[in-house]
Chain A
């Protein structure tokens, strides 16, 4: 979760101090930047932070319609023409895990990989320029079939220049959770397709 167990620096950049407060989905800690020594507030999200399980009772993820599926094709994503592809800031994967399990694992991987989860509504309230060193990530879940969900992850805010470690995230989530990882060119997708 948020606090590192043995006091090692968070993300190699911050020394975490005391808990300043907590919101619905995150805790805010006092921290000191290891680089310049300045005191900052670090907000770390974990969707399970102090909340009972029932808070995560989702509405069933909306079912994907065929056109949603089709529009996932990079052939329809002309932002690639400009080199600034949305694809670097978005990722999709399919999972047979439950919404709760998925959310939990995403939340756990956050502090390690330098992001915190935000709900769609939280996007509007992001501080300008994000939080130093941390990126906000939003998630949308859709139902592909009764046993499989499509998870769409999107990096929000931030300066967009830093490459996000999607591969590390995939490793963190684990092969048991990530059934198929949607790559732009199919290179990083598992060899066996998932047959339902």
Chain B
């Protein structure tokens, strides 16, 4: 009796968390977490079949091209990878995606976007970072604007956002900016997340979870 080994525990992938726990701590229901698991399984086995999402698998899911280097996708990946161990575990996946749920609080989305744009993680969005991001976007779109046009755009935005004029945007200034320019958060909500149970029907329906 005492030797009965529970094989199930060994088969749990690294970073496994109970769906109910994840549902309680995020904007998702248990069934939605189950549906996310389907998506996660697909992504985490697409190239390196270890049940963890590596950078290439993330890039592949986003661009259908595992080798596509993109500054912004890198930032998103880094923020999803809460433990900073180079892979996105299921728990990290669900918790991070929760921010994008339409029902997630605006403050969470605002904070996430701020961290996204704070490229060097200094706690501020510096002007060079803003310029770097604009140039990165133009570069990835094969668009070119003259240096002076880029400067004009960056200067304008910065003077709008940097209200205390210290040359960098802090979180509070960002929050004010977002209030005045709500479209700045448009990428932070994925309406699709509300319908995810339809896209990834899980064969396991939790009996206690009747949504």
Task: Report if A70-B133 is in contact (Cβ < 8 Å); known contacts: A75-B71, A81-B39, A81-B43.
Answer: yes
CB-based contact A68/B190 at 8 Å? no
Give the Cβ gap from B96 to chain A, nearest Cβ, in Å. Answer: 10
Binary contact readout A36-74 vs B (1 if CB under 8 angstroms, 0 otherwise): 000000000000000000000000000111111111111
Identify 19 residue pairs between A and B in the complex whose beta-carbon atoms are under 8 Å apart, listed by A's number. A65-B153, A67-B117, A68-B183, A70-B134, A71-B187, A72-B137, A74-B70, A75-B62, A75-B75, A76-B116, A78-B190, A145-B152, A180-B141, A185-B63, A185-B65, A186-B140, A189-B143, A190-B142, A195-B146
Q: Find A75's partner among B76, B117, B186 (CB 8 Å cutoff).
A: B76
CA distance A195 to B100 in the complex (A): 36
Q: Which residues of B contact A79 (CB under 8 A)?
A: 190, 192
Q: Does B192 lie within 8 Å of A84, measured CB to CB?
A: yes
Closest chain A residue to B100, Cβ basis: A78
> Are A193 and B63 in contact, with the CB atoms below 8 A?
no
A70, A72, A145, A185: which contacts B149 (Cβ < 8 A)?
Answer: A145
In chain A, residues 58-112, which have Cβ atoms closer than 8 Å to a Cβ of chain B? 63-82, 84, 94
User: Which A residue's beta carbon lies closest to that of B61?
Assistant: A81
Q: Enumerate A180-196 residues with CB–CB distance to B below 8 Å.
A: 180, 182-186, 189-191, 193-196
Determine whether the beta carbon of B187 is less than 8 Å from that of A76: yes
Check B62 against A193 for contact (C-beta < 8 Å).
Answer: no
B100 proximity list for chain A (CB < 8 A): 78
For A77, the chain B residues whose CB sits under 8 A away are: 62, 187
The reply to whether B181 and A67 form a contact with Cβ atoms under 8 Å apart is: yes
User: Which B residues lie within 8 Å of A70 (CB)?
Assistant: 72, 117, 133-134, 137
Question: For B82, what are the chain A residues with a Cβ–Cβ distance below 8 Å?
Answer: none
Given contacts A70-B134, A185-B65, A75 and B72 within 8 Å (CB-CB): yes
Whole-angstrom CA separation of A79 from B74 in the bound complex: 16
Task: Count B-side interface residues using an 8 Å CB cutoff.
Answer: 49
Q: In A152-191, which residues have CB < 8 Å from any B CB?
A: 180, 182-186, 189-191
Given A74-B63, A77-B187, A84-B192: A66 in contact with B130 (beta carbons within 8 A):
yes
B5: which A residues are within 8 A, CB to CB? none
Within B29-86, which residues are at the interface with A (CB < 8 Å)? 39, 43, 61-63, 65, 68, 70-76
Q: B62 and A74: CB pair below 8 A? A: yes
Q: Write out the residue numbers on chain B whose beta carbons fall within 8 Å of the beta carbon of A76.
A: 72-73, 76, 116, 187
Residue pair B154, A66 in contact (C-beta under 8 Å): yes
Enumerate B142-188 residues with CB–CB distance to A below 8 Å. 142-146, 149, 152-154, 156-158, 160, 177, 181, 183-184, 186-187
The 6 closest A-B pairs by CB, nearest first: A193-B144, A75-B72, A75-B73, A66-B157, A75-B70, A189-B142
Does A144 lie at the interface of the complex (its beta carbon under 8 Å from any beta carbon of B)? yes
In the complex, chain A residues whose CB is within 8 Å of the CB of B184 = 65, 67-68, 71
- Nearest Cβ on chain B to A83's Cβ, whole angstroms: 8
Residues on B with C-beta less than 8 A from A196 are 145-146, 149
Whole-angstrom distance from the CB of B107 to the nearest CB of chain A? Answer: 18
* Complex CA distance for A182 and B144, rounded to whole angstroms: 12
* B199 close to A (CB within 8 Å): yes
| Chain B residues, Cβ within 8 Å of A194 | 143-145
Q: Do B134 and A66 have beta carbons less than 8 Å apart?
A: yes
Give the CA-CA distance A75 to B76 in the complex, in Å: 8
Q: Which residues of B contact A185 (CB under 8 A)?
A: 63, 65, 68
Q: Which of B143, B145, B153, B184 has the most CB of A within 10 A?
A: B143
Known: A80-B63, A185-B63, A189-B142. Is A71-B153 also a contact (CB below 8 A)? no
Q: Which residue of B lies closest to A83 (CB)?
A: B199
